[in-house]
Amino acid sequence: MALQQTVETTVAGLGYDLVEIERSAGGLLRVTIDLPWAGAAADGGGDAFVTVEDCEKVTRQLQYALEVENVDYRRLEVSSPGIDRPLRHEQDFERFAGEVIDITLKAPMGEAAAGQVNANRKKFRGTLERTEGPGGERGWQIVWRDEPAPAKPGQKVSQKKREAAPLHALGFRLDELRDARLAPIVDFKGRKPRTGGVQPE
């Protein structure tokens, strides 16, 4: 059985989601796990997080499974995704709709983005939203505001500049993404609202 399949089967069998597998120099095998998403029911249950005990349980089971499959590695590290959790699958995007994410496109938007953003731009930060086309075709977009340039010391800011910057929206398909992650935004005032305003880039 291949490494990916062995790890996926073991992690899923223990009731967790596999986020990613990384092999690093020196024989380090890093496995990132998360608690499964319960769909619409997840909204009412509060936030649950992977604990040290969860990681220890998966580590023990993986060590056994990898030994049985004769997988070559020197050190195994099992961890939670952290605040910049990668988004890989459709279900990840469903789960984190309404959150602020960072995306990197495989190719620049080109002329399709002319007038809204730099045509050579690949990296964006915005609130993830589900879209629906006229034929019922569903897709994804991120929405953001560009912050105005800060005023120089002693400069008076006109009323026009004080107005909120216009909203930008960028639609995308998952196969157009090189990378997508939750934006590592830490709110020290307490838990951030899931349905708050659009965060600036």
Same domain, 173 and 116: yes
pLDDT digit string, tens, across residues 103-153: 999 998 765 554 566 778 899 999 999 998 888 888 999 999 877 656 667
pLDDT value of residue 195: 43
Looking at the structure, do residues 128 and 166 belong to the same domain, yes or no?
Answer: yes
Residue 67 belongs to domain spanning: 3-79
The closest of 142, 161, 139, 141 to 152, measured between CA atoms, is 161
pLDDT in tens, 45-81: 445 789 999 999 999 999 999 999 998 899 999 999 9
Residues 63 and 97 in one domain: no
Query: Whole-number mean pLDDT of the chain?
Result: 83
**pTM greater than the 0.85 cutoff:** no
Q: Is-contact 95 181, C-beta < 8 A? A: no
Within-domain flag for 132: yes
Whether residue 71 sits in one domain with residue 135: no
Q: Are residues 106 and 38 in the same domain?
A: no
pLDDT tens-digit map of 150-197 = 666 766 666 555 566 778 889 999 999 999 999 988 766 655 544 444
CA dist 172 → 90, 120, 184 (Å): 13, 16, 21
